[in-house]
Amino acid sequence: MRIGIVSETYPPEINGVALTVHSLAAGLAAHGHSVDLIRPRQSTSFDDEPGIDTLEVRGAALPRYPGLRFGLPAGRHLRQRWSRQRPDAIYVATEGPLGWSAVRAAKSMGIPVATGFHTRFDTYADHYGVGFLTPMVRNYLRNFHNRASATLVPTDALANELTALGVSTARLLRRAVDTQMFNPEYRDASLRASWQVDETTPVVLYVGRIAAEKNLDLAVRSFRAIQQRVPQARYVWVGDGPAREALQRNHPDFIFAGMLRGEALARHYASADMFVFPSLSETFGNVILEALSAGLPVVAYEEGAAREHLFTGVNGHCIASGNETAFIEAAATLAAQPKQLHMLGKTARESVINLSPEAVIREFETLLRRLGEENAHEHHAAAAV
């Protein structure tokens, strides 16, 4: 098949959506499909896999997110490109101006289109002081995704949330984790030494955007509660974002590693001892699967990936959403119990070892093929009338 993929974030940008979309594109190409990738032009280059043909379009900087861009509408360019080489199906991963123009272009040409629901933008408004825009954002998301033949979501819970939002097209496409990359074998004594800790000192890890919508205040309070029980504990932060400068200034004892990927990221996961993730704005949260795969017990709210993969007393603590007291207590208690940390770390990896990326790619290509077949059937039926 020839498959179009449109995304307003993609490597070299590092975030959950960019890496997920790249994984899907690379997986399709590895299966012999021709991938037509459309994304905003970026200041640095990225060497993509063979089989991925890229069109870079105009973009603009995303306010308050240095290094991230959104795509400008490109309907005319997309129609011209897809007229020359028509895709069998199109996947639009993001809901920005580029994504909207791609859905419109695909619909006008009769090409089946699926969308991805990766980010709860409607929940972000309150974090940035514009909560009054929430109904408008939800209406936009509803209209955007209802124009597609399918909207791909990673969990049953999110599918139900979309149905409640008025989106009638949700279909499940589960997420995977690279268990070879995120592996306890990458634990690095020299890295821990650079953090000034020994094997008896618990290291708490955060990986993700360092931004208001990630509930960072609770992350900080949880760690300070840990320190009351284990004074020598250290907190390592991987990632970047608009809140990093203030956080780094106000908490000079925290260790900030910046943006990492590949083996450097794998070493940071494996060299920590627990993963505390208090975000309430996740549609999924790939970092939870990565942490579990690396052998880290996780403390997280019952949202996204945690709802389906995190079990209290088995691989961490899954906390009822919004219960800050329980969240802080779970994190502080676990950090003070070395034997429990070790035991939950072993079962953490076991709990995700069968989440195969290969199975997800097979499911994705099957879904896109079915969309193409359904679209062809509808056109034949209409022509026969």
Residue 272: name the closest of 282, 259, 285, 257 by CA: 257
Torsion of CA 73, 122, 4, 58, to 10 degrees: 30
* Residue 253: predicted pLDDT: 97
Distance between CA atoms of residues 357 and 318, nearest Å: 24
> Residue 220: left (phi > 0), alpha (psi -120 to 50), or beta?
alpha
> Would you say 138 and 112 are in contact if contact means Cβ atoms under 8 Å apart?
no
* Residue 64: predicted pLDDT: 63
* Residue 198: predicted pLDDT: 93
Q: What's the pTM value of the predicted model, to 2 decimals?
A: 0.82
Tens digits of pLDDT across the chain (385 residues): 999 999 999 999 888 889 899 999 999 999 999 999 999 998 888 888 999 999 999 988 776 665 667 889 999 999 999 999 999 999 999 999 999 999 999 999 999 999 999 776 655 555 555 565 678 888 999 999 999 999 999 888 889 989 998 999 999 998 899 999 999 999 999 999 999 999 999 999 999 999 988 999 999 999 999 999 999 999 999 999 999 999 999 999 999 999 999 999 999 999 999 999 999 887 788 999 999 999 999 999 998 889 989 999 999 999 999 999 999 999 999 999 999 999 999 999 999 998 888 989 999 999 999 998 887 766 555 555 5
Q: Which residue has the tokens 């950090």?
A: 335
Distance between CA atoms of residues 37 and 33, nearest Å: 12
> Would you say 204 and 235 are in contact if contact means Cβ atoms under 8 Å apart?
yes
Residues paired with residue 274 on neighbouring β-strands, in sequence order: 204
Specify the DSSP element, H or E, that contains 218.
helix 216-229
Query: For 184-352, CATH number?
Result: 3.40.50.2000
In this structure, what DSSP letter does residue 283 have? Answer: S
* Residue 1: predicted pLDDT: 92
Distance between CA atoms of residues 153 and 360, nearest Å: 12
Q: Look up the CATH architecture of domain 2-176+356-384.
A: 3-Layer(aba) Sandwich (3.40)
Residue 74: name the closest of 95, 86, 56, 61 by CA: 56
Structure tokens at 327: 């969240």
* Residue 210: predicted pLDDT: 94
User: Widest CA span of the chain, in angstroms?
Assistant: 76
Structure tokens at 3: 């498959």
**Domain segments of the chain as ranges:** 2-176+356-384, 184-352
* Residue 382: predicted pLDDT: 54
Asked, colleague to colleague, whether 2-176+356-384 and 184-352 share their fold, the answer is yes
